[in-house]
Amino acid sequence: MASLPDTQTLLKAIEPFLTRRADETDVSRAGIRLLSEKTGMTERAVMAELLSRDLWPERFSRCRGAFSAQSLSRLLSARILVAGCGGLGGHVAELLARMGAGNLVLCDPDRFEESNLNRQHFCTEKTLGRLKAEACREGLLELASYMNVEAHAVALDESNLPSLLRGVDAVMDCLDSVARKKMLEHEAEKAGVPCVQGSVARNEGLALFDSSFALPFSRVYPGEVSGNLEGTAMNTHVLTVAGTATLMVSLLMRWLCMNKNDGGKLFHLDLSIPELEPLSFSV
Amino acid sequence: MSILIKLSTTLRDMVPGYDPETGLSVSLENGEESVTAGDLAARIGIPLEEIKIIMINSRQSELDSVVHDGDRVAYFPAVGGG
């Protein structure tokens, strides 16, 4: 299996691609690409290895102080399924890419339409009519070409989730109905994959992640909640989806990168006030 | 003393003049020491079938949970948008 040389040899080989400040060393994209070509390792693997030696890819250097190199290395190696690439899903995918996620599986059967322009990250006048999952994949690769991104233009259900969830470390639930979210949670539970849930309506968003109890979202909604609500009930805008997506990615990173569990908490973001309130749901 | 009611998203449409910043203050009726969350919702005109999550003092509760003077009660419909 390919690996990087010892740190002293490595630094010498990529000296022109280093930026040094006090005890900090950053490696530029060109340096990472060179190491990938020389060793046959993927750029993701090179970056994960560099981070494990506290050598930071320059693109992540401004995360210093907020996250450890080890944390970012974990995110680079994780495989995350994003269920839905619309409002929440598009923002979640973009945030994950900027934070350094290495492997994403994007699932959405829909195409962008004009009414999505007010909130969906990868919906632009140029991408109208395109499959959301594919446009999202292309946008992510423009941002981070080293990423491994799969796009599946499928509606998630009990028949395709078992195979899509194989090898996945976490699911970001960005689906658009309570009933479908419950279905996803049940399938993820069967596959042993934890789910970060998010949902939005108007000026409000809800987010939760609890890996210590089975089916936390179903505990929040114990009764039957069927179908999509109609009319203006689920209308929303970019402030709500961007804020809620940020909460979701933050909850994921606290668990995946920092081993923290926000069990039993349902975060309620209300931008009409604005306030963020942690609520306790039944466990 | 009174009970502070907070409404989420579509439930706000059901109470004319509802202000999300202040919520809604409801006083218990003469001689009452408590009321159920369901009765309280009915008093302000919220159909019980629209309520999917109830939080009393930020803790998940049910329609028959008891609300006391000074409590804060939040009602949510199904919030399922993505």
Q: Which of B20, B60, B81 sits opposite A280 (nearest CB)?
A: B60
Q: Which of A86, A232, A270 sits opposite B82 (nearest CB)?
A: A86
pLDDT of B30 reads 85
Percent of chain A's residues with pLDDT above 90 = 90
Please tell me the distance from the alpha carbon of residue B10 to that of residue B80, in angstroms, as a whole number.
12
Residues of chain B scoring pLDDT < 50: none
pLDDT category at A229 given cuts 50, 70, 90 is low
Q: Tell me the average pLDDT across A46-61.
A: 97
Residue A265 Cα distances to A56, A107, A175, A197, A251, angstroms: 33, 27, 20, 12, 11
Please tell me the distance from the alpha carbon of residue B13 to that of residue A275, in angstroms, as a whole number.
20
Model pTM score: 0.96
Q: Report long-range pairs for B28-35 (Cβ below 8 Å, ≥24 apart).
A: B28/B2, B28/B3, B28/B69, B33/B68, B33/B69, B34/B66, B34/B67, B34/B68, B34/B69, B35/B3, B35/B66, B35/B67
Q: Do A201 and B79 touch (CB under 8 A)?
A: yes
Provide CATH 3.40.50.720 ranges for chain A. Answer: 78-280
Q: How far separated are the first and last CA of chain A, in Å rounded?
A: 45
A235 and A251 in contact (C-beta within 8 Å)?
no
Q: Return mean pLDDT, chain A.
A: 95
pLDDT of A114 reads 98
pLDDT of A263 reads 87
pLDDT of A227 reads 53
DSSP state of B6: E
Buried b (16+ CB within 10 A) or exposed e, B9-23: bbbbebeeebebeeb
| Whether pLDDT at A236 is above 90 | yes
Gap from B49 CA to chain A (nearest CA, Å) = 10
pLDDT category at A202 given cuts 50, 70, 90 is very high
- Provide the edge-to-edge strand list for the sheet that holds A24-27: A18-21, A24-27, A56-57
| Whether pLDDT at A260 is above 70 | yes
pLDDT of A211 reads 87
Q: Do A204 and B53 touch (CB under 8 A)?
A: no
State the Cα angle at A95 between A93 and A97, rounded to 5°: 70
User: What kind and span of H or E run contains A65?
Assistant: none
pLDDT category at A230 given cuts 50, 70, 90 is low
Nearest residue in chain B measured CA to CA from A83: B82
Asked if CATH classification 1.25.60.10 holds for the domain at A78-280, the reply, yes or no, is no
Nearest residue in chain B measured CA to CA from A108: B82
Buried b (16+ CB within 10 A) or exposed e, A51-61: beeebbbbbbe
> Per the structure block, which two tokens stand in for A6?
């010892």
For the domain covering B3-76, report its CATH number: 3.10.20.30
Domain ranges of chain B: 3-76
Q: Do B9 and A206 touch (CB under 8 A)?
A: no
